[in-house]
Chain A
């Protein structure tokens, strides 16, 4: 589904923040990206969403080169950070707005919200609050569910586990696993948290200073292997 070819990102000051020679993510895979701060996780996702320009190479999303065509947008959804939220909208308005853009009708959205009712834990819908006034954790919940609107084939979530309470983390894991079980949906998740990532992903890639240093199919030993790698 996603092919990375000689991709690199170098900033003006000559710092190479990402350098991936070759990476192939097949359709239906749940792909976990782990690494320390500055490893290049967000940079990779930003390149995948064509928010920054690659210094060399390219990414193809379903055979569409992302920085030359926009045809990948209809089947790709992402939540990177709060800048994906529109602060002056209420949660419902935001969901319907994204729904409109993804050609979903109101009933589709209502059904999706109903399905994830317990994920919201009664703190989002009908709360008479603009998104900018929500707590960080609740903002994240809104962003994650919004990324599921319109049954996208590629779902990109940057640090979805951060800022969430333990119960919500478990509910989120369930949601991601459910997505991963769908053979048509490719999920890309990044995280600092090795345990969570190992649990929901079938394949894990570790980045270190922009380079791929581990690429493993998840198994019993994966967590140990990763923990050993990141040990101090």
Chain B
């Protein structure tokens, strides 16, 4: 039986849509994995001498923050680790025991990258501990305890899957603890650190995390087994739908019709909602640039970079996938009474509105001085005037369909072509160049002025650009339809 399962897994891995076509992406994913492994290895070996240099006891310090390490692990798992339920459906009617199916699917999660990755930190760290006068046997016991917790996380994640309310309340509690610790109100680590210490000092305490992992496995197993029906665990989740009219958009005619749809799309689908989250993150990304905390960012050229990103989060994330957002029903769009121009300008307006909102929300940067906020406003002007057209242009060549309902953006086939990279460059490099030019020859104000002028000029070319993009849409129409059809 196991042989069959493994063979199925093998095929599903190598024939999956996200793996099959794009060599660049394969290499990219591989590099990402190697990158993380590398970081963990360096950290594993390096953290001991690093903490020692700071005059801390490395082992105590690590134990102190281990609780946060595991919580972050759980958060990352929650967002990234895929639940292996999709392949189960066809197996249900075959003569295979349910227990076997559940054991196998749970077993499969045990060897996921999200578990193995930790080995690259904890094994070197344990070795370092042993090399620095810690009792070998105790280090091994501590290590076993940690492994137990990692696997406990793994199965807890299975149980947590799709229980947003539980997950977010846990997250709030933990974030609260973190803040309380930061402001020295209450330190949760004073309670957890002794436990992790105890794994080392007290023999056999490691049995508790191991037992916890076993218990988590047991609960996950039962949970899975009881829900192994098409109408329960494997059912498609459907939420109660609410009809939303957005009648106030009617005054904008056809533009309003499309805007209504786009707003509904963003509200009701996980992937597009992600772009909104990203744009909020981008607003705060600027803090890295304008608080002068990071040296590499502490120069005028990089500050423009920050300015573009703060207001452009939505524009950059959403725009690059126009028209892929509509890929699921692209055939409808192509046979309906739709002019490309109206379609494009509705997307354009959406991006402009989002950019304006981001700019307003970013007004708290005034705290760092009006010059900082000026950079952001100038960045917004450039985003609206130039970048909005560039992302739409790049998107026109984009042939990868988007599964709107997919929760995990990870592993999705991205638009990763040389053409796109080439088109993407001026989004950032041109304003950086323009600003630096003005900054170094005249003064920062002239630098801002240069960027703003470029934005206004770009705006003047709007219709010209739309015409160009429209032509691309037309010439790529059949190829795009065919590509989307294949993916759906």
- Inter-chain contact B335/A49, CB cutoff 8 Å: yes
Task: Report B-chain residues with C-beta under 8 Å of the C-beta of A49.
Answer: 331, 334-335
Counting chain B residues whose Cβ lies within 8 A of the other chain, the interface size class is 20 to 34
- Inter-chain contact B241/A129, CB cutoff 8 Å: yes
Task: Report A-chain residues with C-beta under 8 Å of the C-beta of B337.
Answer: 73-74, 101-103
Say whether, besides A49-B335, A101-B254, A101-B338, A90 and B241 are in contact (CB < 8 Å). yes
Q: Which of B236, B268, B332 contacts A84 (CB 8 A)?
A: B332
- Inter-chain contact B331/A80, CB cutoff 8 Å: yes
- Inter-chain contact B481/A86, CB cutoff 8 Å: no
Task: Report A-chain residues with C-beta under 8 Å of the C-beta of B331.
Answer: 49, 51, 80, 83-84
- Inter-chain contact A86/B329, CB cutoff 8 Å: yes
Inter-chain contact count A-B, CB under 8 Å?
87
- Inter-chain contact B261/A85, CB cutoff 8 Å: no
Alpha-carbon distance between A11 and B142 when the two chains are bound, in angstroms: 63
Chain B: minimal CB distance from A55 (Å):
12
Alpha-carbon distance between A55 and B260 when the two chains are bound, in angstroms: 38
Alpha-carbon distance between A96 and B245 when the two chains are bound, in angstroms: 9
Q: Which of B240, B329, B330 contacts A87 (CB 8 A)?
A: B329
- Inter-chain contact A53/B268, CB cutoff 8 Å: no
Interface size on A, residues (CB 8 A): 32
Task: Report B-chain residues with C-beta under 8 Å of the C-beta of A89.
Answer: 261, 264
Using an 8 Å CB-CB cutoff, how does the interface string of B246-271 with A read, 1 for contact, 0 for none? 00000000100100110011001100
Task: Report B-chain residues with C-beta under 8 Å of the C-beta of A133.
Answer: 236, 238, 241
Judge if B108 is at the interface, Cβ distance under 8 Å.
Answer: no
Task: Report A-chain residues with C-beta under 8 Å of the C-beta of B264.
Answer: 88-89, 93
Chain B: minimal CB distance from A94 (Å):
10
- Inter-chain contact A93/B335, CB cutoff 8 Å: no
Judge if A115 is at the interface, Cβ distance under 8 Å.
Answer: no
Chain A: minimal CB distance from B377 (Å):
34
B488, closest chain A residue (CB): A83
Judge if A205 is at the interface, Cβ distance under 8 Å.
Answer: no
Judge if B328 is at the interface, Cβ distance under 8 Å.
Answer: yes
* CB-CB contacts below 8 Å: B167-217 with A: none
Task: Report A-chain residues with C-beta under 8 Å of the C-beta of B254.
Answer: 100-101
Q: Which of B265, B269, B329, B334 contacts A51 (CB 8 A)?
A: B334
Chain B: minimal CB distance from A81 (Å):
8
Say whether, besides A83-B488, A87-B328, A97-B257, A73 and B269 are in contact (CB < 8 Å). no
Alpha-carbon distance between A130 and B265 when the two chains are bound, in angstroms: 12
Task: Report B-chain residues with C-beta under 8 Å of the C-beta of A129.
Answer: 238, 240-241
Alpha-carbon distance between A53 and B328 when the two chains are bound, in angstroms: 20
Alpha-carbon distance between A96 and B335 when the two chains are bound, in angstroms: 17
Alpha-carbon distance between A6 and B254 when the two chains are bound, in angstroms: 37
Judge if A138 is at the interface, Cβ distance under 8 Å.
Answer: no
Judge if A92 is at the interface, Cβ distance under 8 Å.
Answer: yes
Judge if A192 is at the interface, Cβ distance under 8 Å.
Answer: no
- Inter-chain contact B329/A84, CB cutoff 8 Å: yes
- Inter-chain contact A132/B405, CB cutoff 8 Å: yes
* CB-CB contacts below 8 Å: B395-412 with A: 404-405
- Inter-chain contact B238/A52, CB cutoff 8 Å: no
B269, closest chain A residue (CB): A88
Chain A: minimal CB distance from B80 (Å):
24
- Inter-chain contact A85/B329, CB cutoff 8 Å: yes
Chain B: minimal CB distance from A195 (Å):
29
Q: Which of A83, A88, A101, A128 contacts B336 (CB 8 A)?
A: A101
* CB-CB contacts below 8 Å: A98-137 with B: 98, 100-103, 128-130, 132-133
- Inter-chain contact A88/B404, CB cutoff 8 Å: yes
Judge if A184 is at the interface, Cβ distance under 8 Å.
Answer: no
- Looking at B241, B265, B269, B485, which has the most chain A CB atoms within 10 Å of its CB? B241
Say whether, besides A93-B243, A93-B244, A83 and B330 are in contact (CB < 8 Å). yes
For the A-B complex with A87-B328, A93-B264 known, give 11 more contacts whose Cβ atoms are closer than 8 Å: A52-B482, A76-B335, A83-B485, A87-B329, A87-B404, A88-B264, A90-B241, A100-B254, A101-B257, A128-B242, A133-B236
Interface of A toward B, CB cutoff 8 Å: 49-53, 73-74, 76, 78, 80, 83-90, 92-93, 96-98, 100-103, 128-130, 132-133
List the 5 closest A-B pairs by CB distance, nearest first. Answer: A133-B238, A100-B257, A84-B332, A88-B268, A49-B335
